[in-house]
Amino acid sequence: MSEPQIQLHFSGDAYFRGALKAIESAQQEVLLESYIYDMDPIGLRFFYALEAAKHRGVSVRLLVDGIGSFNWMRDIRNRCHGAGIPLRVYHPLPFSGGLRLSWKNLRRYLFFVRKVNRRNHRKVIMVDRKTVFMGSHNISKVHTKEFLGAAAWRDTGIELRFEAPNADTEILAKAFLRTWRLSALRRLWAQPARLFRRGPRLKIKDRKPTRFRLNSRPWSRYLVNRDLLRRIRKSQARILITNAYFVPRRSVLVALRKAARRGVFVGLILPAKTDIWFVRAASQTLYRKLIEAGVHLYEYTPSILHAKTLVIDDWGTVGSHNMNHRSMLHDLEVESVVTEIPTLLELTDQWDRDAAVSKLYRLSDLTDFAWYQRGLSRVIYWFRYWL
Q: So what's the pLDDT on residue 178?
A: 94
Question: What does the pLDDT look like over 192-217, one tens digit per residue?
Answer: 444 334 434 444 444 455 899 999 99
DSSP state of 142: G
Cα–Cα distance measured from residue 310 to residue 242, given in angstroms and rounded to the nearest whole number = 6
Asked whether residue 7 carries a pLDDT value surpassing 90, the answer given is yes
Q: Which domains does the chain have, with CATH numbers?
A: 5-195 (3.30.870.10), 212-386 (3.30.870.10)
Q: How do residues 212-246 score in pLDDT, each as one tens digit?
A: 999 999 999 999 999 999 999 999 999 999 999 99
- pTM confidence score: 0.90
CB count in 10 Å sphere of residue 267:
22
What is the rounded distance in angstroms from the CA atom of residue 95 to the CA atom of residue 87?
Answer: 20
Q: In what order do the strands lie in the sheet with 308-312?
A: 212-214, 334-338, 315-319, 308-312, 238-243, 265-271, 296-300, 358-360
> How much of the chain exceeds pLDDT 90, in percent?
78
Q: What is the DSSP letter of 28?
A: S
**CA separation (Å) from 294 to 183, 244, 315?**
45, 21, 22
Q: What is the 3-class SS of 299-359, one letter each residue? A: EECCCCECCEEEEECCEEEEECCCEEHHHHHHCECEEEEECCHHHHHHHHHHHHHHHHCEE
Residue 186 has pLDDT above 50, yes or no: no
pLDDT at 300 over 90: yes
CA distance 35 to 96: 22
Residues belonging to the chain: 387
Q: What is the pLDDT of residue 367?
A: 82
Q: What's the pLDDT at 199?
A: 38
Query: Is the CB of residue 211 less than 8 Å from the CB of residue 336?
Result: yes
Query: For 308-343, what is each residue's pLDDT tens digit?
Result: 999 999 999 999 999 999 999 999 999 999 999 999
Give the pLDDT score at 106.
60
Convert the pLDDT of each residue in 123-135 to its tens digit.
999 999 999 999 9
Q: Given this model, what pLDDT does residue 323 score? A: 97
